[in-house]
Amino acid sequence: MADFMQQVVVGLSSGSIYASLALALVLIHRATGVINFAQGEMATFSTYIAWTLTTNHGWSYWPAFAATLILSFAGGVAIHQGVIRPNEKGSVLRVVIVTIGLLLAINGLVTLIWSGEVRAVQSPFPTRTIDIGGVAISIQDIGTIGVVFATVVVLWLLFQYTKVGLAMRAAAVNPAEARLVGVRVAWMLSLGWGLAAVLGAISGMLAAPSVFLDPNLMAALLIYAFAAAVLGGIDSPIGAVVGGLVLGVGLNLLGTYVDFVGADLRLPGALLVILVVLLVKPSGIFGKTEVKRV
Amino acid sequence: MRQARSFAPIAAFAALTVVVAVVPSFVSAFRAQQFAYVAIYLIALIGLNVLTGYTGQISLGHGAFMAIGGYTTAILVADHGVKDVWTIPIAAVLTGVVGFLFGIPALRLSGLYLALATFAIAVSMPAVIKRFEGFTGGGSGINLFGLPDLTASLTPVTILGQELTFNDWLYYLCWTIALAGYVVAWLLLRGRTGRAFRAVRDSETAAQSSGVSLPRYKTLAFGISAAYAGVAGSLFAIATTFVNPDTFPIALSILLLVGVVVGGLGSLVGLIAGAVFIQFLPIWSQEVSKSPGAPAVVSGVVLIALMFVLPMGFAGLLARLRTLTKR
């Protein structure tokens, strides 16, 4: 039982990283109506900034963390204003292709600036474990879960209780009417991209200490995040968080306890489960069924 | 006027056929091989466009259908001694059936959810192939090189009294199938079926109320689309004379979507440019700069710039040119 609980906590820890990246995808989907394929690469780029600040410029961890979030936010806004917004007219696939272009370009840029070498990243949390009711839990896992949880709460407060949050929701739900009441829709969508970049940066910085940092850090994570977002319902922030946690725990248990699955078939196994969920509930667990007017 | 309009595409197609036929006489065998890959991509893009461009169902998993075609060919040649060209129709039928069957559960999904479902298939494919090692050769793949009776990889091929090297033979094989596939798609899409596909794309509700059966046409589009991808995958295996799980990575599926959008959604003629684009973009990017990372930056920037300049792909450019010449 203790072993099982331990696997659950490890799953929650990686699940919270998926959740944060999934949340980024959901924010962008609500703002722009597309899946941002470059989300993972943007996060990788941010993680490299944090790594450079701590390793090459001698910053301590948390100031570097904060500075990275600010830079990521600015980067997200700049990407939306620079290349996404001008391409928003016409087929959504046009924006999808732009994000694929961004994926290539940012991935290349990371390799160009920091080389493809694999780097070790220090963790802000001690690697010790503490004992809770016979279950050994690493402080790093608790820290990861804590940081993501805090981010989600801050984000929720922002969306529910501030004027900017309200404007952002209005811009996403009904751009035309939001514009009529004086919301600067394009800038609200840019804010969404900025926040998404921040969430991605958080997931990247939390993931890096346990898996090492290289230019393809987030490629696999993006797939998990995509799956988590769709599992929860691509328009639902709560769904993204729940989807991420469920996926993290599920993957870990599946890989540990089902022999046939092992490490190789973890991902296909998880995707199969998600496909089944979608077939029963085609718009995710928390998603709303779209009603079209003819 | 009506006459002239219906003859113009036929004349253009005849011109294209002539160009395709004479190209190998002017380029090196190495180039001919690169152009053979263009034909392979063209076949896959036609298939994807039937589904995504004409029927409005986004697929991020066509690489997986190509993998099924490729492995069909590899297994039949290596394990069952079937001559490589005869595996192509088998790959088409088999992949088409798989696509059709996949289309049935996919009926419940739309938009991004369908995109994820297909993406999931493509992501899982390499792991699944590795897992069933006895059948697929696992991670080390299946080698088709050599086997003089079954493939042309060592011995020249004699067709109509002409002796062709492997690269030229590959070129003509791929382009013959690509052009035939192009004509089939054109005939299919200009008639009743194509109209039904476009109706489904433009409004499912309106299509349904006009008597278009959504299940029938969506699964049909999936089946046709997958069959094209299967042929492309089969030719890919013949061309590389080797398949392993990494022959058909997730990047291939994404590349195909790029090709369709760059070529032009819902257009066949633009796809030729799309196929050239996805084949040569990495090669051209290499030529700009070889330092690690730089080619990817170039490719990415070119792709983004292209969406600024040609929002409707090359087909949009052609349409614009046509209105200009009409004035």
Instruction: Give residue-wise pLDDT tens across range B44-65.
Output: 999 999 999 899 888 888 999 9
Three-class DSSP category at B143 = strand
Q: Which amino acid is at B119?
A: F
User: What distances in angstroms separate CA A117 from CA A54, A124, A283, B322, one per listed residue?
Assistant: 17, 22, 40, 50
> Closest Cα of chain B to A2: distance in Å?
31
pLDDT tens digits, one per residue of A242-281: 999 999 998 888 877 776 666 667 777 777 777 787 888 8
Q: Report pLDDT for B279.
A: 92
Mean pLDDT of A145-172: 90
Percentage of residues in chain B having pLDDT higher than 70: 93
DSSP state of A136: E
Cβ of B309 under 8 Å from any chain A Cβ?
Answer: no
Beta carbons of A108 and B119 less than 8 Å apart = no
Which residues of A fall within a CB distance of 8 Å from B288? none
Beta carbons of A112 and B297 less than 8 Å apart = yes
Mean pLDDT of B201-206: 87
**Does A202 score more than 50 pLDDT?**
yes
DSSP state of B2: H
Contact A161, A1 (CB under 8 A): no
Spatial distance between the Cα atoms of B49 and B259, rounded to a whole number of angstroms = 10
Q: Report pLDDT for B92.
A: 95
Other Cβ atoms within 10 Å of B324 Cβ, number: 8
**Does B219 score more than 90 pLDDT?**
yes
In the structure encoding, which two tokens stand for residue A217, read together?
């850090």
Beta carbons of B292 and A292 less than 8 Å apart = no
Pairing mode, strands A129-132 and B157-159: unpaired
Phi and psi at B82, nearest 5°, equal: -85, 140
Spatial distance between the Cα atoms of B25 and B181, rounded to a whole number of angstroms = 24
Beta carbons of B116 and A230 less than 8 Å apart = yes
Q: What is the ipTM of this complex?
A: 0.86
Q: If you count them, how many residues does chain A have?
A: 294
B158 vs A48 pLDDT, higher one:
A48
Mean pLDDT score across all residues of chain A = 87
Q: Report pLDDT for B1.
A: 43
Contact A2, A135 (CB under 8 A): yes
Phi and psi at A72, nearest 5°, equal: -65, -40
> Closest Cα of chain A to B304: distance in Å?
5
Mean pLDDT of A9-26: 91
Give the confidence band of B2 by pLDDT, cuts at 50, 70, 90: very low
**Angle at which helices A237-257 and A2-32 pack, to 10 degrees?**
140
Nearest CA in chain A to B123: A268
Q: Report pLDDT for B132.
A: 81
**Does B19 score more than 70 pLDDT?**
yes
Residue recorded with tokens 């088709």: B144
3-class SS letters over B91-126: HHHHHHHHHHHHHHHHCCCCHHHHHHHHHHHHHHHH
Which residues of A fall within a CB distance of 8 Å from B294? 108, 112
Mean pLDDT of B264-268: 87
Which positions 143-172 of B are in contact with A (Cβ < 8 Å)? none
Mean pLDDT of A99-114: 92
User: What distances in angstroms separate CA B298 from CA B88, B233, B260, B277, one per listed residue?
Assistant: 36, 28, 20, 13
Beta carbons of A96 and B119 less than 8 Å apart = no
Beta carbons of A230 and B254 less than 8 Å apart = no
Which residues of A fall within a CB distance of 8 Å from B262? 97
Q: Which of B52, B128, B304 sits opposite A268 (nearest CB)?
A: B128
Beta carbons of A105 and B128 less than 8 Å apart = no
Give the confidence band of B251 by pLDDT, cuts at 50, 70, 90: confident
Other Cβ atoms within 10 Å of A79 Cβ, number: 23
Which residues of B fall within a CB distance of 8 Å from A108? 293-300
> Closest Cα of chain A to B252: distance in Å?
12
**Does B5 score more than 80 pLDDT?**
no
Contact B59, B103 (CB under 8 A): no
Q: Report pLDDT for A250.
A: 87
Residues 6+ apart with CB under 8 A from B54: B189, B194, B197, B198, B201, B221, B266
Residues 6+ apart with CB under 8 A from A48: A110, A113, A114, A213
Contact B32, B24 (CB under 8 A): yes
Contact A115, B292 (CB under 8 A): yes
pLDDT tens digits, one per residue of B100-153: 998 888 888 877 778 878 888 888 888 888 888 777 877 778 877 767 667 766
Nearest CA in chain A to B306: A98
- Nearest-5° angle of CA A136, CA A142, CA A148? 155
A278 vs B35 pLDDT, higher one:
B35
Other Cβ atoms within 10 Å of B156 Cβ, number: 12
Spatial distance between the Cα atoms of A16 and A10, rounded to a whole number of angstroms = 10
Nearest CA in chain A to B296: A108
Q: Report pLDDT for B82.
A: 81
Spatial distance between the Cα atoms of A292 and B11, rounded to a whole number of angstroms = 43
Cβ of B58 under 8 Å from any chain A Cβ?
Answer: yes
Spatial distance between the Cα atoms of A30 and A35, rounded to a whole number of angstroms = 10
Nearest CA in chain B to A35: B112
- Nearest-5° angle of CA B97, CA B101, CA B102? 115
Beta carbons of A227 and B131 less than 8 Å apart = no
Which positions 256-295 of B are in contact with A (Cβ < 8 Å)? 257-258, 261-262, 265, 291-295
Mean pLDDT of B169-182: 92
Mean pLDDT of B294-301: 90
Contact B18, B156 (CB under 8 A): no
Phi and psi at A290, nearest 5°, equal: -75, 130
A193 burial type by CB count under 10 A (0-12 exposed, 13-18 middle, 19+ buried) = buried
**Does B215 score more than 60 pLDDT?**
yes
DSSP state of B163: E
Contact B84, B92 (CB under 8 A): no
Cβ of B1 under 8 Å from any chain A Cβ?
Answer: no
pTM score, whole prediction = 0.87
Residues 6+ apart with CB under 8 A from B216: none
Beta carbons of B124 and A223 less than 8 Å apart = no
Q: Report pLDDT for A203.
A: 93
- Nearest-5° angle of CA A163, CA A164, CA A167? 90
Mean pLDDT of B147-162: 68
Beta carbons of A108 and B298 less than 8 Å apart = yes
